[in-house]
Amino acid sequence: MTSELIDSLRKGNRLALSRILSQVENRTDAGIAALEELFLETGTAQKIGITGPPGSGKSTLVNALARELRRREPDKKVAIIAVDPSSPFTGGALLGDRVRMLDLQDDKQIFIRSMASRGALGGLAEQTEALSQVFDAAGYGFILIETVGAGQSEVDVVNLAHTTIVVDTPGTGDDIQSIKAGILEIADILVVNKADRPGADQSVTHLRNMVEMGYNRSVINGKHHLEDFQESTTQEITSTDWIPPVLKTVASEFQGIKELTDALLNHSAYLRQSGQWHAKDRAAIRANIRHQLIANLLNDFNQNVPSELVDSLIERAQKRAISPNEAVRELLAYNRNNTLESSE
Amino acid sequence: MTEKKIRVLIAKPGLDGHDRGAKVVARALRDDGMEVIYTGLRQTPEMIAEAALQEDVDVVGLSILSGAHNALVPQVIAKLNENGQTDVVLFLGGIIPEDDIQTLLEQGVYKVYGPGTDTREVCKDIHEAVKAKA
């Protein structure tokens, strides 16, 4: 069943692709098996993250960008993964990004998939990266990943995107907002959308100042907020050649989209020439492995350690007989001993 | 392992611009824990089938208040079948004359809802239909 589906996907069957995306999103056994196989065929797509506050025009920008990318590179298929939040109370979601992407429905080389965040908090869903891998294996050359409306710290997209576009609108804050840490730091390209509104030039100036003051240093010192896995990724991300451009767009009128696409293709060329493409790929894989490792270790722990022990330690901590730190030490010791016994 | 979510496409085919009902139903299904993909106004049957394919939905809900249901619904069904999505459950809401309902059901519509429908009934029907399909 699954191998038939995978064969159909390789032949370009879009229903098979869609079915596999669901299996992968739901982490079914078939989905996990499919992903293990398909991952080996990934690595060619340019993954582009689009993030920014709610209402800044991300979906409309994605709509315009996808059209322009198809016009510029007609041989490449475009995938769009649009993430919207799930309700924290009911788990339901209303996924409305397609409403802004009606221009794209006639082009069979564009595939739009809506995703609910399903409780994840970093601006993406748990399986967004996995879905992007399926699209990559299915031969989609550009994968646009639109995050949920993001505030200041939903920056997970940087872990999987080659290029991160941060979208803002005029008048959303003074220069103090723009020098705060967080979302603006992750941008490879900054966009002031709705630039026909008052204050656009001022926003551009603020952002340019921020880029000039802060960007180089944060990259040299840091890990570019890429999650590291044991050792630092500093050696992997060191180049300082790329200075994020700040661009004005009116996505609904298709203004500034050519320039944005230029910047995107320039960034792609820069990544390949500088070795950053390879480095980002490595960092993404590192983050992926680390993430899965943590999930699995926690799962093993929950199976090894009886909940009664956890409860009793919580009780002792609440009576102030031990500290939470000691409780953790005891749990880890129990887990270690238990694991040793079972492996003998 | 993630619990399997029911995915529903809510679409308005044809030219009428009255999307209040579609939005109320979309909201009710969301509050019931479903993942609802909303596509907006003036969709052609091709566009609806295409969205259903890309989103791999279990259910498609159509809202038609223009009176064009006898023309539009068979086209949507044909396009879904053409794409291989023969197992999608199709619901219809709107102003549908009693005489047309039986025909639409025979054509493959799972259920037809008129004005004043309790959204809890819609939720219950969807759960049952998806369960029966699995």
Domain with residue B14: its CATH number is 3.40.50.280
Residue A302 has pLDDT above 60, yes or no: yes
Give me the domain span that covers residue B63. Answer: 7-133
One domain, residues A55 and A193: yes
Could you give the angle at the alpha carbon of B122 between the alpha carbons of B119 and B124, nearest 5°? Answer: 110
Q: What is the pLDDT of residue A222?
A: 41
Mean pLDDT confidence for B122-131? 95
Q: Are residues A182 and A319 in the same domain?
A: no
Q: What is the DSSP string of A35-63?
A: HHHHHTT---SEEEEEE-STTS-HHHHHH
Do residues A2 and A33 both lie within one domain? Answer: yes
Cβ–Cβ < 8 Å for A257, A68: yes
A176 part of a folded domain: yes
Q: 3-state class of A107 per DSSP?
A: coil
Tens of pLDDT, residue by residue over A70-107, are 999 999 999 999 999 999 899 999 999 999 998 888 89
**How many domains, chain B?**
1
**């050696």: which residue's tokens?**
A235
CB-CB contact of A241 with A270 (8 Å):
yes
Residue B78 phi/psi, 5° resolution? -60, -45
**Residue of A18, A28, A87 with shortest CB distance to B56:** A18
What is the extent of the structural domain holding A329? 305-343
Whether residue A299 is contained in a domain is answered as: no
Q: Looking at the structure, do residues A72 and A56 belong to the same domain, yes or no?
A: yes
With respect to residue A127, please indicate whether it lies within any of the assigned structural domains.
yes
Residues A26 and A57 in one domain: no
Straight-line distance from the first to the last Cα atom of chain A, in angstroms, rounded to the nearest whole number = 38
**B130 in reach of chain A (CB within 8 A):** no
Into how many domains does chain A fold? 3
In whole angstroms, what separates CA A303 from the centre of its chain? 30
Residue pLDDT, tens place only, B48-99: 999 999 999 999 999 999 889 999 999 999 999 999 999 999 999 999 999 9
- Most confident region among A119-128, A262-271, A294-303 by mean pLDDT: A262-271
pLDDT digits (tens, 9 = 90+) for A145-175: 999 987 766 778 888 899 999 998 887 665 5
Judge if A239 and A148 occupy the same domain. yes
Distant-in-sequence, close-in-space partners of A125: CB < 8 Å, separation ≥ 6: A25, A83, A115, A116, A117, A118
| Shortest distance, CA B96 to any CA of chain A (angstroms) | 26
Q: Which residues of B touch A22 (CB under 8 A)?
A: 7, 56
Identify whether residues A150 and A22 lie together within a single domain: no
Residue A291: inside a domain: no
Report yes or no on A286 lying in a domain: no
Give B-chain residues touching A14 at CB under 8 angstroms. 53-54
Q: pTM of the predicted model, to two decimals?
A: 0.88
Domain check: are A150 and A226 in the same one? Answer: yes
ipTM: 0.93
* CA A166 – CA A203 distance, rounded (Å): 13
